Each structure stands twice: as C-alpha cells, then as structure tokens.
Amino acid sequence: MIRPLASSSEGNAYLIGGRSPLLLDCGLPFRQLQKATGYRLTELEGCLVTHEHGDHSKAAKDLMAAGIDVYMTAGTARALKLDHHRLHIIKAREQVKIGAWTVLPFATEHDAAEPVGFFLGQREVRLLYATDTYYIRYKFPGLTHILLEVNHARDILDANVASGAIPPAHRRRVMRSHMSLQTAKDFLRANDLSRVREIWLCHLSDGNSDADRFKREIQATTGKPVFVAEK
C-alpha cells in the first residue's frame, strides 16, 4: 500500500498503491521519480503536493508536462509560480474525488504558504498522510494506514544545541515547523487506532532523530506494526 521513494530533507515522495495509484509529494528530480517507479509514472491517477518546499514539490512542473494531474492549494501554486491545465487547486476541508480515492485535505502547521495534509479513503482503506507540521489539530475516523512525520526528539535537539552542533535559532525553527516524537505519540493516542494495519514514520531528521528508538517507542505506544521510511 505505502511505498516510500524518498524520505528526508533531500526529498520526499511516497507511492500509494491499489486501485488508482497516487504519488504523495514529488520532491525528487523527475528522472529519479521515473526510475523509482519503474518508469510507470503515467499509470498514476495523480500527485498530491503538501506544500511548496523543494523537497516536496521539485518535480511538480515536470509531472504536469508529462500529462499527470497534480493537486495543491492555491497558496502552494502561487509560491511555486505554477499555472498549467494539469494543475488542480484544492482547499483544506473540501473533499475531492481522484480516481477511486476520496481525498480530504486539511490544514497543517508549517512555515509555508498554504500547507496541507491528506486523509484518503478507498473501499476499506483510510489513509492519513501528514508531514512538515509541528501539530495536527484534527482526529480522523477509521484509520487503517498512517504515514506520519516524526522529525526529531526534543532531547536530541537540546543535546545538539548544548554541544554546538546546531545553533539555538535552528532549534526554534525545527520546533515550530516539524513534528517531534512526543507530539507524534500524543497525536496517535488521541485517535482511534483499532483498525490500523501499519504506521509509517517519515521525514526523520538526519541529525536530530534515532530511527530505532522512534520505531520502538511508537510501537510501544500504539501496539501496531511500525516501519521507518529511510530512503
């Protein structure tokens, strides 16, 4: 169902399989996306872009030029200066149908023009994709799959500031734009996970995270199979 193609500050892209395959974010060069998908990009129903930062939107223009529909908010499109007949403008809390999927965008908290996450439904599947947000204000019913940013742990971030590895200003920026391990656990506890089949952790910071620890703690919190997108 969820296949990470890239998941880091260098680029983020996730392939969602099943009927009407979708690409969630496109933060890789177009040719890399082609190769990562086995040169089957034209089989995509579309690409959903969360926000304008290059590690999430890099290939948007090239995807549209290749005949693939790309969905993003008006704020994201303006920030990227995109205008194309394959561009579809979406709004937070306004549902849209994309192939077999019903997609509900929702507002996220990030230093971007009009960022969103996505709650997707198809038959018995209810999938949440939330990245580059330090907080999620909503709860989601009937979740079966979760793809969630867990960018950093506060204690690792603090240790890096204390050692001089990162400046205090960088810590403040990370805290206001990306989800911490503690916030992720709080969010998961607040939702009904009874139907969840798998949880994917994505967009881990290179220097402020610990993949093994994050997987272990989220698994202990939820009792669900947990995977880390580390590409």
Q: How far is CA 21 from CA 17, 47, 68, 215, in A?
A: 5, 9, 12, 27
In this prediction, residue 100 carries a pLDDT of: 96
How is the chain split into domains, by residue range?
2-226
Query: What pLDDT was estimated at residue 20?
Result: 94
DSSP 75-133: HHHHHHT---TTEEEE-TT--EEETTEEEEEEE--SSSSS-EEEEEEETTEEEEEE-S-
What is the distance between the alpha carbons of residues 13 and 26, in angstroms, rounded to a whole number? 5
The pLDDT of residue 231 is 66
Could you tell me the CA-to-CA distances from 217 to 57, 66, 127 in Å, in that order? 30, 41, 21
CATH number of 2-226: 3.60.15.10
Residue 9: per-residue pLDDT: 87
Q: One digit per residue, pLDDT tens: the chain, 231 residues?
A: 899 999 998 999 999 998 899 999 999 999 999 999 999 999 999 999 999 999 999 999 999 999 999 999 999 999 999 999 999 999 999 999 999 999 999 999 999 999 999 999 999 999 999 999 999 999 999 999 999 999 999 999 999 999 999 999 999 989 989 999 999 999 999 999 999 999 999 999 999 999 999 999 999 999 999 999 986
Q: What is the pLDDT, as a whole number, of residue 18?
A: 81
- pTM for this predicted structure: 0.96
Q: Which residues on neighbouring strands pair with residue 202, listed in sequence order?
A: 149
- Measured CA to CA, the distance from residue 23 to residue 13 in angstroms comes to 7
Residue 84: per-residue pLDDT: 97
**Could you tell me whether strands 198-202 and 226-228 are parallel, antiparallel, or unpaired per DSSP bridges?**
parallel
